[in-house]
Amino acid sequence: MNRAFNRKKEKSWMHTPEALAKHYIAYNAKFLGNTEVEAPKGTEVVKDAVRKLKFQRHIKKSEGQKTPKVELQISIYGVKILDPKTKDVQHNCQLHRISFCADDKTDKRIFTFICKDSESNKHLCYVFDSEKCAEEITLTIGQAFDLAYKKFLESGGKDVETRKQIGSLQKRIQELETENSELKQQLQDLEQQLMMAHVPATGSVSVQAQSTDVFDMVPFSPGTVLVPTQASNGCPVPPTALPPNIGKDLFGAEPFDPFTCGSADFPPDIQSKLDEMQEGFKMGLTLEGAVFSPDPLDGRC
């Protein structure tokens, strides 16, 4: 017992106390995920969680999904799990909520820790894969525990409340950063929609308005179908169309003109009457022209 205690006292940690107390130690690893466990600690509890998450990883690999890489920042305040590129905090596990930490002796790449979730109060087991640093990461978390406990004894327990306040503030900061990222994404989507609204669609056919005369009328062009146009005063011009054959009536027959028909078109008696009507029409036009002709002698009409 005493020899074991002496070995523990004489054991030297890997990092300086200032590195964990004032800063943090960063590691890169693959994150297999987390899963709920029934107990806050225990080797068998951790083994079951590792088996479960390894099985899920094999399924994702068969579907072509890669295991995501994360950055671990370890300090006396806890373990942060971040995206290595964007530095966005995915999980913030406060040290006083971590109840168990161990590396897998059968698989040297795997290490885990159990943390009590601050919202659901459930115990979650986090599992990681590191090719070279699994045992070193576990020892670093153990050193952070040792330094935090010494600081707790020195402060007489007051430091625990301070760490809780810091934890709640860090959580609030994380929520605000997430909200800010969502708002930025919404703003980018709106800007993209506005740009698409001002750009005409490729391959669209634009109808060119026809020119109109001084009366806002479309110039007459026989044989062409008129299309709806927009007048210069803003009033729409109703669509009109010329008949397909202007020389025929509604029934498709030639229009009747009794004065242009030849003599062979009708019997003699009818033709004579038509000639008389035509002569009378011509005389009426002559008389009407005489009535309205000015008299150059007396200047009267």
Helix/strand/coil (H, E, C) string of 44-65? HHHHHHHHHHHHHHHHHHHCCC
Least confident of 39-48, 51-60, 235-244, 281-290: 235-244
Say which residues have a Cβ less than 8 Å from residue 139's Cβ, sequence separation at least 6.
13, 14
Please give the model's pTM, rounded to 2 decimal places: 0.51
Measured in degrees and rounded to the nearest 5, phi and psi for residue 270 equal -70, -40
Tell me the C-alpha to C-alpha distance, in Å, between residue 202 and each of 136, 190, 199, 261. 59, 21, 9, 59
CB 139 within 8 A of CB 15: no
Averaged pLDDT score across all residues of the chain: 77
CB 147 within 8 A of CB 19: no
Average pLDDT over residues 28-56: 94
Query: How far is the C-alpha of 229 from the C-alpha of 282, rounded, in Å?
Result: 44
Residue 140: count other Cβ atoms within 10 Å of its Cβ: 24
pLDDT-based confidence at residue 30 (cuts at 50, 70, 90): very high
Q: Does 201 or 266 have the greater pLDDT score?
A: 266
pLDDT-based confidence at residue 113 (cuts at 50, 70, 90): very high
Task: List residues bridging with 82 in a β-sheet.
Answer: 71, 89
Instruction: Find out if CATH 2.60.120.1130 is the number for domain 17-155.
Output: no
Residue pointed to by tokens 């929520």: 175
pLDDT in tens, 124-156: 999 999 988 999 999 999 999 999 888 888 876
Tell me the C-alpha to C-alpha distance, in Å, between residue 38 and each of 43, 105, 227, 293. 12, 22, 77, 121
Query: How far is the C-alpha of 211 from the C-alpha of 198, rounded, in Å?
Result: 27
Helix 134-155 × helix 158-198 angle, to 10°: 130
The yes-or-no verdict on residue 157 having pLDDT over 80 is no
Tell me the C-alpha to C-alpha distance, in Å, between residue 209 and each of 34, 198, 199, 229, 240. 66, 21, 21, 6, 14
Instruction: Give the model's pLDDT for residue 144.
Output: 94
pLDDT-based confidence at residue 293 (cuts at 50, 70, 90): very low
- What is the C-alpha radius of gyration for the chain, rounded to an integer number of angstroms? 49
As given in the structure block, the two tokens for residue 294 are: 């000015």
Average pLDDT over residues 150-168: 72
